[in-house]
Amino acid sequence: MPSGARVAGGFLGGMLLVLLPMLLALGDPYWLDIVTFAYLMAGLAGAWNIIGGFGGQFSLGHGVFFGIGAYLTAILYTEAGWSPWITLAPAMLLAVLVALLISWPTFRLRGPFFAIATMAFNQVAFVLVNYLDWPTNGPRGILIPFRAGLANMIFVQRWRYAVLMFGFLALVTGIAVLLRRSRLGYALLALREDEDAARAAGINVLAAKLEGMAISAALTAVGGALFAMYLRYVDPPTVFSLSDIGVRFALLSLIGGIGTVAGPILGAALVVPVENWLRSTLTGLWPGADLVVLGAAMVLAALFLKHGIVGAAADLMGRRTRR
């Protein structure tokens, strides 16, 4: 087991590496936007990975917690004038509350049944928010007026958003690193492998799942809030989109390496730029072609990168050392 100092060193080194693309993109607004969004998605995938990867609970309902963060921040900011920094607290709290309510019944389900049930909650949230005129403004969504200022989390210079998202990613990754070496982290890993064996080792399986889900949901809500302030517009099809949000977190983790600290970051680093590039080059030729190519790439990843980029790299290293 690596010592605490080595893990801290690895974390700081890794974060510096992650910072590099932002520094390179500083002069280029197009790339800066991509890097900013990749940081946000990496942080969100990392938050999902806490319960989905470490705990093996394949939630496809994290769009609900994301939506809570986005909508609560948008509503409290536009209606009550709360600073988005302050709204993070109630957003996290509400997300945890809803996460526990959703998890209580669904944690009795295993494997695909859990995934399907959580996905259903995402759709329920979509319908609800879309239907309600108050407080979510229904299908019209909420437009956040541009009033620049640190307290408003709205910036003129785009690089400040990149720093903000980087901070979120660093926070999520730091928590994941600490968790991976903690009692709760090991409980989640154990119950992912075998619930009966975990119980025999003294682990309260339901409690550990709920704790992991609560941390994951709270961080996802923070990501949702940042997303709302970055886009300055929230509406139901954007926030509760399964392909762009709810399932995306799981997908990025899968491609990068599920259950590893670096996996979600690598997944986002690969998918977000490629996706943007495909969209800008292929959409002009044939609308939707980018999605076809992206879908095919994901099928290939599922077939040949079973343990993600992290797993493939570990395999390569292992083969080299064995030789």
Partner 1 sequence: MTAPLLSVQSASKRFVGLLAVDSVSFDVSAGEMVSIIGPNGAGKTTLFNLLTGQLQPSGGTVRLRGQVVNRLGPHRRARLGMGRTFQIAKPLTRLTVLENVLVGAFMKHRGLRAAEGKAVEVLAEVGLLDRARHSAGELTLSERRRLEVARALALDPEIILLDEVMAGLNPSEVDAAIELYRRLNAQGLTFLVIEHNLKVVRAFAERVIVLDHGVLIAEGSAETILATPAVIEAYIGRQRA
If the CB atoms of residues 16 and 207 are measured against partner 1, the closer one turns out to be: 207
If the CB atoms of residues 110 and 199 are measured against partner 1, the closer one turns out to be: 199
If the CB atoms of residues 103 and 122 are measured against partner 1, the closer one turns out to be: 103
Site string for partner 1, 182-221 (x = CB under 8 A): xx--xx-xx--xx-xxxxxxxxxx----------------
Rule CB under 8 A: is residue 317 a binding residue for partner 1? no
Q: Find residue 142's DSSP bridge partners.
A: 234
Rule CB under 8 A: is residue 108 a binding residue for partner 1? no
If the CB atoms of residues 50 and 222 are measured against partner 1, the closer one turns out to be: 50
- Secondary element (H or E) of residue 167: helix 159-180
- Secondary element (H or E) of residue 276: helix 263-282
If the CB atoms of residues 4 and 29 are measured against partner 1, the closer one turns out to be: 4
Rule CB under 8 A: is residue 104 a binding residue for partner 1? no
Rule CB under 8 A: is residue 1 a binding residue for partner 1? yes
DSSP notation for 61-90: -HHHHHHHHHHHHHHHHHHH---HHHHHHH
If the CB atoms of residues 147 and 181 are measured against partner 1, the closer one turns out to be: 181
- Minimal distance in Å, beta carbon 267 to partner 1? 19
Site string for partner 1, 223-262 (x = CB under 8 A): ------------------------------------x---
Rule CB under 8 A: is residue 120 a binding residue for partner 1? no
Q: How far apart are CA 32 and CA 268, in angstroms?
A: 15
- Minimal distance in Å, beta carbon 259 to partner 1? 8
- Minimal distance in Å, beta carbon 188 to partner 1? 10
- Minimal distance in Å, beta carbon 148 to partner 1? 45
Q: How far apart are CA 78 and CA 82, in angstroms?
A: 8
* Count of alpha carbons within 13 angstroms of residue 179, beta-carbon side: 28
Q: Find residue 233's DSSP bridge partners.
A: 143
Cis amide linkage into residue 135, ω under 30° from 0:
yes
Which residue stretch of 38-46, 147-155, 177-185, 223-231 sits at the interface with partner 1 (rule: CB under 8 A)? 177-185
Here the tokens at position 53 are 């990867």
Q: Which amino acid is at 130?
A: N
- Minimal distance in Å, beta carbon 2 to partner 1? 11
Q: Please give the span between the terminal C-alpha atoms of the chain, in angstroms, as a whole number.
A: 24
The three-state secondary structure class of 150 is coil
If the CB atoms of residues 206 and 297 are measured against partner 1, the closer one turns out to be: 206
CA distances from 152 to 45, 76, 91 (A): 25, 12, 16
The CB density around residue 254, as the number of other CB atoms within 10 Å, is: 26
CB contact at 8 A, 173 and 265: yes
Query: Can you give the binding site for partner 1, defined by CB under 8 A?
Result: 1, 4, 181-183, 186-187, 189-190, 193-194, 196-205, 259
